[in-house]
Structures are given as structure tokens and as C-alpha cells.
Amino acid sequence: MKTFNVGLIGMGTVGTGVAKILLEKNSPLLEKLDCLPVLKGIADCNPDVKNKLNLPSDFFFTTDAKTLLNNPDIHVVVELIGGVHPAKEIITMALEKGKDVVTANKMLLALNGSELFSTARQHGKSISFEASVGGGIPIIAALRDGFIANRIEAIFGIVNGTTNYILTKMTKENVKYSDALAEAQKLGYAEKDPTMDVEGIDSSHKLAILARIGFGVDFDYQNIYHEGISAVDLSDIGYAHELGYTLKLLAIAKRVENKIELRVHPTLLPHDHPLSSVHGVFNAICITGSAVGETMLYGKGAGQMPTASAVVADLVDVALGRAGITFKAMKTFSGHCERVPIADMLQFKTRYYLRFSVTDKPGVLAKISGVLGKYEISIASVIQHKARENGNVPLVMMTHLAEEGNLQKALAEIKQLDVIKDNTKFLRVEE
């Protein structure tokens, strides 16, 4: 049996999972392959991590990544340290040393993907990154290979398990945001500093990768709009449910004429939408293609072994030669894809959920609807409940299709009305 030697850099949660799979004596890989990826070396700045595994005494372990990169017996490097630096330098050096690369680093690929792809092409090597989005869901392979005959029109989905767990907790158990976040942290679903997840930054990284692969274009990552769930109010989840909608944090990519929409934000979906039933830490991504129509991939979007499974799948592609062929043949990895602008958020159109806090007196609805009408925003439905203890009442509306810029202007003017007693909450809708 032929072997393909693997060097692993980063023995965190996922790295440990990858090592476990590759070191398994009765691995399913043995039953399926005649060319086997074999773990030959590990690099991690913490020398104690080698105690996580029952490694032989002569196993190549180092605290210096450069030592592993300079090892001529290593054919492919797996980078699992995350972040931009020193990950970028490690991957670049691996490529320059004639080694293929497998990574799960969504931040690095979102910010520097095109540059690294170009470097890989220059050296006749490949970069594989199935584990960067969707954990164990083979979404990259699906977009890159499975839907190759399609012009991808839209990609949207739940790509962050932490936020989906929190929103599920809030929706199903009527738990406020701070308590749901604390529970997610206790269970290990959320970091001590959850900013990357709850503010939509992690989702925007993943969206950038999906859009580059799906649309085959390049763009300025900094122009991706992202908004998180930290300001989501439990009452809005309740009112939305009453109106027939479920709240999810969505990553959305759409073709719009000669531009693309790229945005991450809390989004209301009809109860019968497939993504509305995706709960807990699970991910799901919907793809709309010109030939296949609408399809959805669903599964565990994070966790040690699901993500490690995706990493090892990439290693097998490298070992079998598929990764090199794919990387060499596809324009997506040329580093010279068509660069397209990201559409201005103020220009896109959707329906909106609005919640006003107003004084309990006649004529309030007329004043608000008058301003909305001035900016060509029509009302589809209204909910008004009994007054609160302070005398103010929530006034909830669903609009018809409207332009974001017009909505922002209308809300700024409505804020000045004497009947408005608190900041207005709004949520975007996808049908």
C-alpha cells in the first residue's frame, strides 16, 4: 500500500480529532484506499499536547513549526492553528517547500484566500479547505464539484452553531439572550469571548468562502455586511412567531445583475421554510442552481470529530491526486477571478418586521403609516397588544417589499415623532 505522509500543525480540539482518525488501527481508510494518508509529524507550541495521544516514543513531535515544514518526508501540511498570523506564513512556507496544504482556517481564507491560491498555483501545489465551512457538511465539495454544471444564483444558510443554539434556546424555551449565551458557554458551544460568533463575524468569514467558490468571483471582504444577535429581544421572537416566522442568523449570498449581495444578519423565515426547523448547533446551507434548482445540505457544523472528518476527506483527496487536478484546472483558484462589487445594503429590497414602542392614544398608527407611506413603504399586517405598565404599547408591523435605504430614512423621521417612546426594532425577512 502506498502512503502519503502528513504533518499536522496545531493540536487543539480539531487537530486532536484528526490525529485520532489517522492513528486509528482499524481505520475505515484501510478498507477503502490503496493510497493512505499517514500521520508522520506533529507541531504545537505546547509540548504537553503530545500526551493527549498514545504516540510512540520515536514519533516526530516538535514545538517549532518550521522544523516540520523543513522535513522532506512530509508531503502535505495540515494547518489547524487558526487566525491570520502566523498561519499565513506557515501555509506560504509549506507551499514554497513543495507541500500541499489542508486547512480549516476560515478567517485566513476570507481575508487572504485569493493571494494564497495564487501562491499555491505558482508552486504547483493545492490548498484544500472543506472543514472551513459547515464542519462535517461537504459543502465546499458540493459547490466546487457537485454543482459544477450550475450557475449558482443564491447561497444562504445557518453556518454558525453557537448562534443557532442561542436562538433555538430563546425560541423554544423563552430564555433571554444573556442566559442562553451563558448556557452555550457552559456547554462549550460558545467561547469565553463570544464576539466572533454572536456578532456575525465568523458567519461572514464563511460566507466569503462560499461566495468565492459558488460564484467563482473575487470581491472586497471588508464590504460584507454583518450584524449579530446580541441585540435580539425575546419579545421580537414572540411577535414574529405570532406572525408565522422563525428568527435565524443567516449568511446570504445572491447574484444581483452585475453585483452580488453578501450579508449576515438576524432574519425572519416562514415557519414552513426548511431552515426554520434547523435547531441547536446544527448547520444547514441552501443552494439555488440553474440546473439543480433548490437543494439543502444539513449536518453538524462544528465539533471535534465532524470537523476532523472533513479535514481527513481533504487529505484523502490530496493523497489520491484529486486535489492537485482540481486546483490546477479551476479558475476559482487562479488568483485572477473576476472582481465584482458587493451591492450596497441601502439599495437591496426585502420585507421588514418593525416594532415601535408608542403612547397609548388615538392617531398613532396614522402618524407612523403616514411617514412610511412617504418613503413608499406599505404595511402588510399589524399587531397591537394591551398597554404595558408604563403606559406604552408595542406596535408591530410587517411591511411589503421595501428598499433598505428608504426604510432607514423613514425610521429616522419616525424617531422624531412625539408618540415614539423607545428605539424602534426592525428585522429583515426572507420568504
Active site residues: 206
Q: Which residues, in sequence order, are bridge partners of residue 381?
A: 398
Grid coordinates representing 155? Answer: 447561497
**CB of 292 within 8 A of CB of 145?**
no
Nearest Cα neighbor of 311 from 22, 85, 89, 47 is 22
Grid coordinates representing 159? Answer: 453556518
Tell me the Cα Rg of the chain. Answer: 24
d(CA 190, CA 165): 9
What DSSP designation does 197 have?
H
Which residues lie below 8 Å from residue 75, measured CB to CB, with a gap of 6+? 4, 5, 6, 99, 100, 318
What DSSP designation does 336 have?
-
- Per-position b or e across 122-157, b if 16+ CB within 10 A of its CB: eeebbbbbbbbbbbbbbbbbbbbebbeebebbbbbb
**CB of 240 within 8 A of CB of 353?**
yes
CA distances from 371 to 43, 310, 315, 374, 409 (A): 62, 52, 58, 5, 9
Task: For 417, list phi and psi in degrees, rounded to 5.
Answer: -65, 145
The secondary structure element, H or E, covering residue 152 is strand 152-158
State the SS3 of 381-431.
Answer: EEEECCCCCCCEEEEEEEECCEEHHHHHHHHHHHCCCCCECCCCEEEEECC
d(CA 15, CA 20): 9
Q: Helices in 123-271 by DSSP H: which ranges?
A: 139-141, 161-173, 177-186, 195-198, 201-215, 234-242
Nearest Cα neighbor of 82 from 100, 109, 62, 55 is 109
d(CA 142, CA 133): 12
Q: SS3 for 363?
A: coil
d(CA 106, CA 83): 8
